[in-house]
Amino acid sequence: MAGPEREDAATRRAKLAEAITAHRRAGSQSAVYFGAETDDESPVVEYVDREITVEVGDAERDRLDALLADFHVFKIAQPATRKAPAGEIHISALADPKHTADFVDRLFLDVYDFEESYALAIVEP
């Protein structure tokens, strides 16, 4: 049985930037969801109206904090995170689509610990 497809970072980030740009052009309040094409269940990253929502465990939260230190323009959105269920983090994404795409790709690599060649999926909710 064949495993999931593989993509390089440039391909994934271009797909992410295109989806984010299309979302913004449409003025959509509907979310865009990103995941990974894997044989297992993938975490899903939600993007809507310049906000990213992720679900993380304790170890992933520590890695998310480290990633946020590298991307200073992205901040944990309060009070949205305070009101959210445990483990759900809302991140303010007031950045251009390319920078946001870089951040989302790094979420999968650094926070969710996917391999460098994971394939990105734009998923239905």
Q: Is residue 88 within 8 Å of 81, Cβ to Cβ?
A: yes
Q: Domain containing 119: what range? A: 9-123
CATH code where residue 52 lies: 3.90.1150
Q: Is residue 12 within 8 Å of 120, Cβ to Cβ?
A: yes
Q: Is residue 112 within 8 Å of 97, Cβ to Cβ?
A: no
Mean pLDDT of 28-38: 88
4 domain-assigned: no
pLDDT in tens, 101-125: 999 999 999 999 999 999 999 986 5
97 domain-assigned: yes
Q: Is residue 48 within 8 Å of 29, Cβ to Cβ?
A: yes
Considering the entire predicted model, what is its pTM?
Answer: 0.91
pLDDT in tens, 50-97: 999 999 999 999 999 999 999 999 999 988 889 999 999 999 999 999
